[in-house]
Structure 1
Amino acid sequence: MTDVNRPPGERIGGWTRLVTARPRLSLLVALLFTALAVVAGSGVADRLSGGGWEDPASQSSYATKALEKRFPASQPNLLLLVDGGGKKVDDPAVATEARALAKKLSGEESVTGVTSYWDTGASALRSKDRGEAIIAARITGDETAAGKALERIAPDYRGQHGPVEVSVGGPVAVKQEMQTTIQEDLLRAEMMALPVTLVLLVMVFGSAVAALLPLGIGVIAILGTDAVLRVLTEFTDVSVFAQNLTTALGLGLAIDYALFIVRRFREELSAGGETLPAVAATLRTAGRTVLFSALTVAVSLAAMMVFPQYFLRSFAYAGIAVVLIAAAAALVVLPAALVLLGDRVNKWDLTRLLRRGRRADAAAKGAEPGAGWGRFARLVMRRAPVFALATVAGLVALGLPFLRVEFGTADDRQLPSSAESHVVQQHIRDGFAGGPGGGVEILAEGKPGAAALADYSAKVSALPGVLRVDSPAGRFADGHQLGKPGPAEAARAAGGAAYLSVQPKGEPVEPATQDLVRDIRAQSPPFQTSVTGTAAVLVDTKESLGDRTPWAGAIIIAVTLLLVFLLTGSLLIPLQAVLLNALSLTAMFGAMVWVFQEGHLSGPLAFTSSGDIETTLPVLMFCVAFGLSMDYGVFLLSRIKEEYERTGNHEAAVEFGLRRTGGLITAAALILAVVMVAIGTSRVTNTKMLGLGIALAVLMDAMVVRSLLVPAVMKLTGRATWWAPGPLRRLHTRFGLSEGESAPGSDTPSGGASGDAPGGSSGDAAGEADTDAASGKGRRRDRVSIR
């Protein structure tokens, strides 16, 4: 049976028929999908990896893998810190016990390259006060296999052994402890965020039934993404940090999309519509905006695919999956649920009495829903130059600390100060002249001769910033040989290759050490060399990100410009959207440096500042925060565009857009901020920075950029805001996309959403019906839409 004779506002499109014809079947399929996702995603946390910051095609990555294969002792990833318990490490009893531990460790499966102070006498393996010394080894295999091996053997070595106390550290211990900590923190964050989010949703909707719907969509998105990540771990490495993004975006975006759809549906019902036509109208309007918003967020996250570091690529995998699943659930599962619920979506109204009082007051004053936001928009537009300049100046000032940014690598200081692997590394930093893993390693290939190695070692030792060079030819400093090669030096050459260890005078990743890496690479010995080490990895990572960041930025900007043009048909609005989105992120980047690099608030926030920012994190935070900012930008622009098409009044359209979406965007931003702050309670510094930084960016975007800067800028640009040259207008007419009704030749109801005034009642945000009646004829257009 067709719907040709229905009034335009009640026409049921093909998509609506598809998702609502058998609503119980749709919900059953969703339930089966969720159950399969639980099974498919089980154990995903155990298969995630703790690294991924290096470029696998870089020189340092090649050298690291080659050294691990040829000279495992050169790349220790397991350190046993042996404390003499008040005795010196050369005490016979201490030395006997330590040698026994080293011998036992060398017999462990998957362990190779065991060295210790007691076997080599190397001063780098002994503390300056001679109270502690190190046993170093290499656990073979990839990160997952090495972590499992550590779990198996660590309990046998940790703790008291006769006169000595042993602590377990090293890179493999750091990664293992970081992975365990993140999993525990993520579970705690979910337990914190879910009840608070539910309370906020009840306050926004008023109805407990309506409030449960967004959480249901969020659960589907999170479980579905976990299943996707579990499958991906069979083919590629996936970072453990990606699970944090899955939880945050799964809840945040699902709630955003469900808020928009459920609220529009309730408005259609409040206007006197029946259930099925109300669902159809909701999908034609809010559904289009949700689809469009999901595309913009997915594109921002997909841009991280251009980077070779699997840390960043993992966030692209998780982000794209969670966005698409959340949007699909909002556009398929949610309409089916709304068809079955009908007006029962308003049941269990827990704020009825309070909201009645506020409505009575508003009615007595003659106020429309969202009137406070309307007055605020008019105020901003009356003083548009002042608000625009003040807001831009304030945002720029908040971002100025980022000019002092120093980039580094993630290390043990990401963990809480009480973590065992952090304690071990801190002891090495504070008490040792130069421990394993802190220097620069050079792999020499091509059958280097003894004389050539000696000459090269002397030249390297004469470079600025070099304390000492250990090579097969002996030990060198200041361009001179300090001693003849012994058994330890002889072990540095085998199978036509050799390796040299360069001990820098400064910290492992400070700028001087990075310059030293570049100076070493600039040498031209008569054999092939490859340089690795912490500083070399950082140099290669910075170069890799520098090469690819412009491409990622170009992808985000180009696709954003295109999508916003398809939404608005304007040449200027897409440019405004990109620039204002970028401005909304300045506070986040400034706070990143002021708080986490420089250590302000490190006490209250319980983290240890390393004095730098992990190199990949700003890229990640930009992509995530930019996508979320566009999410709110689309919600606002779609309603402004809808009203402008209806009335042709630019200022009234801007006021309408803020009045109808101000409360919605603020509520959505607050809920997402709650989720991100819960993530930000993590004990791992990078996760803390990610959660708190994006929470700040989201709040700044919703409460400053969307509320102040957008209406001020649109007032200043006036009707020129909507201008586009003829060819682009025709392109938009053919392929454009908007939230307003677009049935050919039909009357076009505005159907806008009501919004809160700043500080207004959540009851208004919960679903007041629009009071503006639509007028005028709709324009005949072929649109990309959900119909």
Structure 2
Amino acid sequence: MARVLDRLGRGSYKHRWIVLVVWLLVLAAAAFGAVSSGLNLSNSFSIPGTESDRAQALVAERLGDQAAGVGSSSSSQAADADEPSSARVVVGVPEGESFLAGTGIQDVLTAIGPVAQAADVAGVSDPVSNQAVAPDGSVMYVDVQFTVGMEDVPTATTDVLEDAADALEADGYEVALSGGPFTAPLELAGPTEAIGLVVALIVLVVTFGSLLAAGMPILTALLGVGIGVAGVLSLSGVTVISSATLTLALMLGLAVGIDYALFLLSRHRQQLAEGMDPLESAGRAVGTAGSAVGFAGTTVVIALAALTVTGIPFLSAMGLAAAATVVIAVAVALTLLPAIMGFAGERLRPRGRALKQAEHSRAARNRWGAFVTTHPIVTLLVAAAVLLTIAVPALSLRLGLPDAGREPEGSGDRQAFEMLAEGFGPGFNGPLVVVVDAAQDPSSLADAVVEVTTTVAALPDVAYAAPVAAPGATEGADAALVIVIPTSAPDSQETADLVHALRDARPDLEAATGTELWVTGAAAANIDITEKLADAFPLFLLIVVGLAIVLLLVAFRSVLVPVTAVLGFLLTIAASFGATTAVFQWGWLSGIFNVDSAGPLLSFLPILLVGVLFGLAMDYQVFLVSRMREEHVHGADPITSVRLGFAHGARVVLAAALIMISVFSSFVFSGSAQISPIAFALAIGILFDALVVRMTMIPAAMALLGKSAWWIPRWLDRIIPNVDIEGAALERPEHGGSHAADAPVDEVPADAHQGAHAAHGAHTAAGDQPG
């Protein structure tokens, strides 16, 4: 593989104009596809086959499409931008007044009256007949049905609604407009994301000591992520793409795009500092660091693609979209970056302070690496204790999907959610619906509904239960709905227990009434999705762990290196879960991280975090340990090879980790209940994995294992393919290898280092695999 990549790097360097034009054409094609797609994005999640999903389909079939939305949410927001949408006007009375007395209801109806005549308005609900006035008279709401999707509601119509709200507020009422056209639009990038790029640029300038070199990874990453995101948007023309899918692709594309270019460019500049010809160096960089980039990128792609084994469509889409973006990032790094190296030519050769930095790196001096390998047992114990302590909050981790109560403070949806919860009770925002199916005996439907309502109302944590007049129901119907309002909030454990209690009571009720019962509604759907994801997690974790062992076994031809890598990865995951639980569920440091409302973590966060962090953790494992193995293959003793490899790779890996952390962290402050916890978990996970696991625990473990770290049974050694991620096949006598100029590492005897390189030729010629 190293020789193939070497030729690819040389070819891209020589034919740089062709490579640049091809990539620009690909970007233009992707952009055209995105513009032509219609940008069909959604914030909704569903899993086909769950009880709540089947029940909604049954209601739509038997009672009409409008009835399928009963109990879907408090704001009645359409899941599909093309479906007819609705908005909700929530009104609170001035202090000391009540809608149960005086002219309050009439004031609201008078103000909202003109809305019924506005364009594309199908109807305005009657708050009195719909019992849309709170029992204490403090709040009421009016639903406005549109004939078009939320994005197609005319501006003139929304202006009429806003004018009505302004008129009511002028009279002392509190008004919130939620759902439909009043839902905040998705913002792919903003000021905080730009700050992340600025921080990444600063890290690159410090790392390279050159503004030209620092700008190249940013440029290639932006082009790659532009192609990736535009490609994902293009698919929205044929399928609904969630906003979380798009943002994950954007985050990962930026992070890995910059990191992969950083690894390649740092190797290129190191070789230029040693006097290598630019063309030769570009090929060698792609053949050596590029091999590691290709292998690391493959691990990320496989881990993300493995999300499809969950059988959950929206999660599969997220994984495949992010994986495709990573593939593009790898391809850009291996072709476009060497082409840009060709445009820069000799200007990339380090000079001044940058040259001194390169000489320092070549001298392989690193006090931290020397310290952790000198005290490996203490290092491992302290690092493990720190990560396990941070992981403690994960023992109380709860999962769910965010509702309007987790939206940014001040948004219309959040304000409406809180007003309705205060007036009608917290369970009003997450109604449950019991579907009574009397297809076998329609004449029994009326009695069955009474029996179901009476039984359900007596269950713990039920505030209210009553039959509802479904919009699609007609006389002689064979199905009916019973709405159930819990006393607890939609994301509470009590509401989850109520859903299970309803389903546990079903067999007896079905036997007594001769009907079939189904439980659905917004809260039930969220619970079904959460439990389905929780059930899929162990299998996915097993696949990822098994995959890690196999891939690292092939990469490093060692049995124990994969084991230490996986154990470190498990510590990273545990600590990431713990920190994320403390911030987003417990509310610790919520002001610092812009967490408006604490609550359960995203139900798909564990699977997503494992998939993404596995790939990124293996990136650092490959880049660090491949340099250690490179030294070992060249004849260094175990301790020397660990210290030399760590010293050569630590600076670049540290810079790469800081860049990833800055990119992910910039999305933490978006205020999105979906994106912020994902970004935080990824950022803190990279911090733990890169700094504590890969740069502290792994070199300590490798030093403790000594020669046994590279042990592999002979029979296994014979059947494993040689991928040569160290690029040993590219060592040419005329250059003498990059090792000839290496100076002793801290606390490593000079004769050991010299002896290591003296043995280099013999090991390479004989094709030995030290064991």
Shorter chain as denominator, the TM-score bin is 0.7 to 0.9
Q: Which amino acid aligns with 1:399?
A: A
| Distance change in 2, residues 1:290/1:453 (3 Å) | same
Residues 401-434 of structure 1 show CA distances to partners (whole Å, capped at 9, x for unaligned) of: 1101122220123322111211111111122236
| Distance change in 2, residues 1:598/1:637 (3 Å) | same
| Distance change in 2, residues 1:106/1:344 (3 Å) | same
Alignment correspondent of 1:518: 500
The offset of 1:543, in angstroms, is 2.3
- 1:429 paired to 2:421: yes
| Distance change in 2, residues 1:23/1:232 (3 Å) | same
In structure 2, distance between residues paired with 1:515 and 1:21 = 66
SS in 1 for 2:634: helix
SS in 1 for 2:143: strand
Alignment correspondent of 2:456: 460
| Distance change in 2, residues 1:517/1:17 (3 Å) | same
Matches within 5 A, 1:29-48: 29-42=22-35, 46-48=39-41
In structure 2, distance between residues paired with 1:616 and 1:51 = 13
Aligned mate of 2:128, from 118, 121, 137: 118
The offset of 1:259, in angstroms, is 1.2
| Distance change in 2, residues 1:346/1:490 (3 Å) | closer
In structure 1, distance between residues paired with 2:732 and 2:535 = 51
Contact 2:400–2:527 under 8 Å retained in 1: no
Alignment correspondent of 1:390: 382
Q: Which amino acid aligns with 1:96?
A: Q
The offset of 1:228, in angstroms, is 1.3
Contact 1:742–1:778 under 8 Å retained in 2: no
Contact 1:217–1:330 under 8 Å retained in 2: yes
SS in 1 for 2:466: strand
| Distance change in 2, residues 1:389/1:617 (3 Å) | same
| Distance change in 2, residues 1:327/1:778 (3 Å) | farther
In structure 1, distance between residues paired with 2:190 and 2:371 = 44
Alignment correspondent of 1:775: 760
Give the TM-score normalised by the residue count of structure 1: 0.84
Alignment correspondent of 1:587: 575
| Distance change in 2, residues 1:344/1:781 (3 Å) | farther
In structure 2, distance between residues paired with 1:150 and 1:534 = 28
SS in 2 for 1:133: strand
Alignment correspondent of 1:262: 265
- 1:727 paired to 2:715: yes
Alignment correspondent of 2:551: 563
Contact 1:102–1:116 under 8 Å retained in 2: no
Alignment correspondent of 2:491: 509
- Of 664-673 and 229-238, more deviation after overlay is shown by 229-238
Matches within 5 A, 1:275-424: 275-346=278-349, 352=352, 369=362, 371-373=364-366, 375-424=367-416
Gaps of 5+ in 2: 78-86, 746-755
The offset of 1:355, in angstroms, is 5.6
Contact 1:747–1:775 under 8 Å retained in 2: no
Alignment correspondent of 2:54: 62
SS in 2 for 1:713: helix
Alignment correspondent of 2:204: 201
Residues 417-461 of structure 1 show CA distances to partners (whole Å, capped at 9, x for unaligned) of: 111211111111122236754221111222352122222222222
In structure 2, distance between residues paired with 1:237 and 1:219 = 25
- 1:691 paired to 2:693: no
The offset of 1:617, in angstroms, is 2.0
Give the TM-score normalised by the residue count of structure 2: 0.85
Contact 1:662–1:707 under 8 Å retained in 2: yes
The offset of 1:341, in angstroms, is 2.7
- 1:132 paired to 2:117: no
SS in 1 for 2:481: strand
Contact 1:56–1:308 under 8 Å retained in 2: no
In structure 2, distance between residues paired with 1:149 and 1:707 = 54
In structure 2, distance between residues paired with 1:23 and 1:503 = 65
Q: Which amino acid aligns with 1:400?
A: V
Alignment correspondent of 2:242: 239
| Distance change in 2, residues 1:233/1:13 (3 Å) | same
SS in 2 for 1:130: coil
In structure 2, distance between residues paired with 1:744 and 1:459 = 79
Matched length = 725
Alignment correspondent of 2:749: none
In structure 2, distance between residues paired with 1:81 and 1:630 = 50
The offset of 1:112, in angstroms, is 6.3
Contact 2:397–2:581 under 8 Å retained in 1: yes
- Of 304-313 and 621-630, more deviation after overlay is shown by 304-313
Aligned mate of 1:669, from 637, 657, 672: 657
Contact 2:27–2:227 under 8 Å retained in 1: yes
Work out the percentage of aligned pairs sharing the same amino acid. 26
The offset of 1:556, in angstroms, is 1.9
In structure 2, distance between residues paired with 1:202 and 1:109 = 55
In structure 2, distance between residues paired with 1:741 and 1:717 = 24
In structure 2, distance between residues paired with 1:533 and 1:113 = 23
In structure 1, distance between residues paired with 2:150 and 2:476 = 25
Alignment correspondent of 2:16: 23
Gaps of 5+ in 1: 1-8, 473-486, 759-770
| Distance change in 2, residues 1:724/1:684 (3 Å) | same
The offset of 1:118, in angstroms, is 1.9
- 1:736 paired to 2:687: no
Q: Which amino acid aligns with 1:463?
A: L
Q: Which amino acid aligns with 1:157?
A: L
The offset of 1:756, in angstroms, is 14
Q: CA-atom RMSD, angstroms?
A: 3.5
| Distance change in 2, residues 1:38/1:73 (3 Å) | closer
| Distance change in 2, residues 1:403/1:21 (3 Å) | same
| Distance change in 2, residues 1:598/1:43 (3 Å) | farther
The offset of 1:738, in angstroms, is 2.2
Alignment correspondent of 1:471: 467
Alignment correspondent of 1:551: 539
Aligned mate of 1:751, from 738, 758, 765: 738
Contact 1:749–1:775 under 8 Å retained in 2: no
In structure 1, distance between residues paired with 2:138 and 2:462 = 27
In structure 2, distance between residues paired with 1:61 and 1:535 = 12
